[in-house]
Amino acid sequence: MQYSDSLPAHNAESLLVHFRRVELLKQQATEFKSISLNPHQLCDLEMLLSRAYYPLDGYMCRDDYERVLDSMKLADGTGWPLPICLGVDEGFAKSLEKGECVGVRDAEGFMLAVLTVSEVWQPDLEQEAKAIWGDVSQADGVNASLSTLENPWYVGGRVEGLAFPQRYDFTDIRLTPAEVHRYFSQKGWRKVVGVQAGRPLHQADRAMLEEIANEEGASVLLSPLMFPSMYSSVDHFTLVRCMQEFVGTFPRNKALLNLMPWFERKMGPKGALLRAIVNKNYGCTHMLVWDSGKAEPRLNVLTDEFQEHIDWLDKQQENTGIIPIKERCMVLDDESKKFVSSDDGKLCANDHNGIVSLLTQGKEVPEWMSFPGVLETLGKTYKPPSKQGFCLFFTGLSGAGKSTMAKVLYVKMLELNDRPVTLLDGDIVRTNLSSELDFSKEHRNLNVTRIGFVASEIVKNGGIAVCAPIAPYSESRRQVREAVEQYGGFVEVHVSTPLEVCEQRDRKGIYAKARAGIIKGLTGVDDPYIEPQNPELRIDTSELVPSEAAYVVLNFLRSSGYVGRGE
Ligand code: PPS
């Protein structure tokens, strides 16, 4: 890479520059163009600034990029498996000149770094995927950091850090690589196994780590994987809290929990090499490699591909300086009720999904599977339907009976009084949330997705949302379902009362107005209603009184466990 000589040397522990340089750069920044990073890019910047990506001191330029793709080496010959490039829009890329400074900002516009542009080029992303995967058809998720860009170009150049990205969660366990390394030295940890995990760990994992640590005479550095958009993810907090409980089961001097801004790049075997280098930069000597090909429920056999992967990682030790350790199959010894490693092909009883499934069915999780603290934490997120939030979503024509049923159900849920209940009837929403919207397709979809957003927040916090918009289009109904199902149950009730019956009822006189041409675009008359294909329930209220129709819904809620049987 070529850089301007006038750039100051970085402090060895991070790419943050001296505060006087920070002041100068902030003064000059009014003249700089800016780039705002997406959550994945923010993680990469933090890895650069903290030197988790040592020896990189900025975004790769073309010579490094091409050599990395070609032979897994930087231009100076240092081993490096994957490109670390900054993707920007084509228009922005073309506006840049060599040597100019760009302010690198977070989503709120806070300037975190200044990038001095060395090179700008348009990558051949297909070529890139081929070089990384060999087989482009598998190249899923290669460029997560480019996902928000339409036609990405790369900008290479050295980075001067002004501040680390602001993180507000778990700040006491966010040590930089230098701080982690210092911790190891103070504790006298000469050998450390880096373990990154994307799911909570349980008894079998604990037994495996203990076995490995004892054999190697090593301690353990445990890091949960980051979800870059974590603030919308309950899972991030659950995962970290479970990890805190898990690490507490180790003797004090044996394990350290630390959050690194590392997200799973899904970059195949080369991704594991990058993780190896990062582990090395945190001071680890070994790294646990999980068998990602293993099916759930986990068969107690490691796949052949996994063995090949480990052998390959082994051969890369001169590039990474890290000894890979493969995941072991653990089985429960019936007599001692302890987990031991084995490769006899038995079914491994300890799988995380199995534990979650027991919790969501309201069943007891056997002691040997996990730890009380981990289960208590998991239990707050994964609840049986009777304890979790859910959304009851009525959809159908005007006059079909949605609002009446919604009101009956709302009252029934209030009577039960075990979860907070909110009614989001079409009229209520149109008055309070969507008063500026009309009945065009675009506005109807917006109206419905707004309802979905509010409902998902209610469900996230354990409440019941009863919604009753017409919701004539499948795309917005699907979006609502997706938004809600991240956090709890979704029960779609298609109130399928035929148009003739709705028109006959015409309580609001709206059909008469439509037929007289006074209002246009009434759903069912001269605007479409796309019927749901797979609703949880379909109810025609032509022949039912409202309480009977509501009873059908209540029965469904009972049989699927959302409310207790006696209620
Ligand atoms: S949508 O399509 O889901 O956004 O509609 P929604 O918010 O549920 O609003 C439906 C109520 O608005 C009144 N109204 C109309 N409905 C449909 N089409 C047109 N053009 C229209 N103009 C006004 C109507 O009274 C609906 O009330 P409900 O409660 O469904 O009878």
Phi and psi torsions of 243, nearest 5° = -65, -35
Which residue is closest in CA terms to ligand 1's atom 28? 398
Average pLDDT of 522-526?
A: 96
**pLDDT at residue 145 tops 80:** no
533 CA to centre of ligand 1 in angstroms: 21
**Does ligand 1 lie within 6 Å of residue 444's CB atom?**
yes
Which tens digit of pLDDT belongs to each residue from 386-397?
999 999 999 999
Phi and psi torsions of 310, nearest 5° = -65, -45
Predicted pLDDT of residue 302: 57
What is the pLDDT confidence band of residue 295, given thresholds at 50, 70 and 90?
very low
**pLDDT at residue 347 tops 60:** no
Find out if CATH 3.40.50.620 is the number for domain 171-381.
Answer: yes
Report d(CA 93, CA 153) in Å as an integer.
Answer: 6
**In the chain, what's the furthest Cα-to-Cα distance?**
86
Predicted pLDDT of residue 270: 84
Architecture of the 19-161 domain: Roll (3.10)
3-state secondary structure of 458: helix
What is the pLDDT confidence band of residue 150, given thresholds at 50, 70 and 90?
confident
Which of 440, 444, 470 for mutating ligand 1's site (highest number of atoms within 8 Å of CB)? 470
What is the pLDDT confidence band of residue 294, given thresholds at 50, 70 and 90?
low
376 CA to centre of ligand 1 in angstroms: 45
**pLDDT at residue 148 tops 80:** no
Which residue is closest in CA terms to ligand 1's atom 20? 522
472 CA to centre of ligand 1 in angstroms: 10
Which of 395, 446, 510 for mutating ligand 1's site (highest number of atoms within 8 Å of CB)? 510
CATH superfamily of 385-559: P-loop containing nucleotide triphosphate hydrolases (3.40.50.300)
Average pLDDT of 476-498?
A: 96
Distances (CA, A) of 9 to 3, 26, 58, 119, 147: 11, 18, 13, 20, 33
**Does ligand 1 lie within 6 Å of residue 427's CB atom?**
yes
Which tens digit of pLDDT belongs to each residue from 233-254?
558 899 999 999 999 999 988 9
**pLDDT at residue 5 tops 50:** no
Residue partners of 328: CB distance under 8 A and separation at least 6: 208, 211, 212, 341
Which of 397, 398, 505 for mutating ligand 1's site (highest number of atoms within 8 Å of CB)? 398
The minimum-distance atom of ligand 1 relative to the CA of 445 is 4
What is the pLDDT confidence band of residue 297, given thresholds at 50, 70 and 90?
very low
Average pLDDT of 20-24?
A: 96
DSSP bridge pairs for 155: 86, 120
**CA dihedral in degrees (75, 78, 81, 87; nearest 10)?**
-40
**pLDDT at residue 449 tops 80:** yes
Contact 410, 423 (CB under 8 A): yes
Domain boundaries, the chain: 19-161, 171-381, 385-559
What is the pLDDT confidence band of residue 141, given thresholds at 50, 70 and 90?
very low
Predicted pLDDT of residue 464: 98
Contact 125, 132 (CB under 8 A): no
**Does ligand 1 lie within 6 Å of residue 207's CB atom?**
no
Mean pLDDT of the chain: 89
In our burial notation (b when 16+ CB lie closer than 10 A, e otherwise), range 145-177 reads: bbeebeebbbbbbbbbbbebbeeeebeebbbbb
Predicted pLDDT of residue 247: 97
Contact 353, 296 (CB under 8 A): yes
**Does ligand 1 lie within 6 Å of residue 451's CB atom?**
no
Share of the chain above pLDDT 70, in %: 90
**pLDDT at residue 299 tops 90:** no
Q: Assess whether the region 19-161 and the region 171-381 belong to the same CATH fold.
A: no
**CA dihedral in degrees (335, 341, 345, 351; nearest 10)?**
80
401 CA to centre of ligand 1 in angstroms: 13
Which residue is closest in CA terms to ligand 1's atom 27? 398
The DSSP bridge pattern shows strands 330-333 and 338-341 to be antiparallel
Report d(CA 567, CA 432) in Å as an integer.
Answer: 32
Length of the chain: 567
Distance of CA 144 to the CA centre of its chain: 12
Report d(CA 102, CA 35) in Å as an integer.
Answer: 7
